[in-house]
Structure 1
């Protein structure tokens, strides 16, 4: 089986492409009738769907993995633990599932990239959902200890009250919609009318 496109995507850290590559490869080998189950990179395939935030596809892939693979490849189960924590919105549990397993060299880069991406996603969630939040809760959401979480958010412009250990969230700038000038709309309407007649 030719995994060169998958290997190239992993080597170039093009992790957003890995799920599509794996999906296409598995369809190709299935169409050829090739018995691929034992050598298929299930852990990579599963984590690649989690990476692109496609939990439903990850769940369907998990259900299709043969029981013998689930029993004999602990890394596949470790990846699925991440998926389960995401599914149940156990934000701190996602980081715990990542840290609890000694990932193979082959999967380490993708796990690290997912962890960083997830931290950014959680940070943006905190920015949109809170105006103040405790240091303890922030650390849980970001998968860090309290000192690291405080330093992380302070670098993003947040403020901390050392007495109460509460953080004040700095809201991220939002994109404002550009207002359409009524005179431009009128000219556009006249132009379209002219073209039609």
Structure 2
């Protein structure tokens, strides 16, 4: 099935849809060649310049869809294929680079700060929010299977919850974990996770993603 031409309206509708990440990945993959041609034509005065705003949104969206399908290495490769001038001047793509570094280095607190504090265009917000939820779910599963006991503040940091509330043993923060069957030991001030079974990945989602996250988290209480 032939896709409509790559336009801001078409791309915005696609990003805002509730389509599964694997379907979004397939659609945006088919648009990448068109995006490359649009940028290549920008060097020809007679052909007209590719819209930088459209191309910035396309590459930012494609980047997030890589993350949503658990393809971090491929997302990194995508940044190498992005037009260099666009990559260096588009604010959203600069934010994507910062996010990539934080995800790659497993800096969980920084991931949430980048997603929540940095400016993202309105059209990209649906993917930003979807990735935050995806990242939280993936991290929660990894923590639940990696730790026998963990401090509340450490667990809160992994989930992007308020660290100050966690330090005060906030009941609402504790309930974010006990609702999954975790046990809160008031005497030791430790959470005892109950393993959460991960849903088998589908489509382009990497089957190694959860195991890789678990390896980065470690296995001892902190």
- Alignment correspondent of 1:131: 148
| Residue 29 to residue 166, structure 1, CA distance change in 2 (3 Å) | closer
Kindly indicate whether residue 182 of structure 2 is the aligned counterpart of residue 158 of structure 1: yes
Say if 1:6 and 1:21, in contact at 8 Å, map to a contact too.
no
Kindly indicate whether residue 29 of structure 2 is the aligned counterpart of residue 12 of structure 1: no
Listed as ranges, the gaps of 5+ residues in structure 1 are 176-197
The one-character-per-residue Cα deviations of 1:15-58 (angstroms, maximum 9, x if unpaired) are 50222212211124547975547231221111111121111221
Instruction: Measure, in 2, the Cα distance between the counterparts of 1:80 and 1:31.
Output: 23
Instruction: Measure, in 1, the Cα distance between the counterparts of 2:67 and 2:92.
Output: 14
Listed as ranges, the gaps of 5+ residues in structure 2 are 43-49, 200-222
| Residue 174 to residue 74, structure 1, CA distance change in 2 (3 Å) | closer
Kindly indicate whether residue 48 of structure 2 is the aligned counterpart of residue 42 of structure 1: no
Instruction: Measure, in 2, the Cα distance between the counterparts of 1:60 and 1:37.
Output: 23
Secondary structure of 2:150's counterpart equals: strand
TM-score (norm 1): 0.77
Give the alignment's Cα RMSD to 1 decimal: 2.5
Say if 1:91 and 1:141, in contact at 8 Å, map to a contact too.
yes
| Residue 138 to residue 174, structure 1, CA distance change in 2 (3 Å) | closer
Bigger shift: residues 165-174 or 46-55:
165-174
Shift of 1:136: 1.1
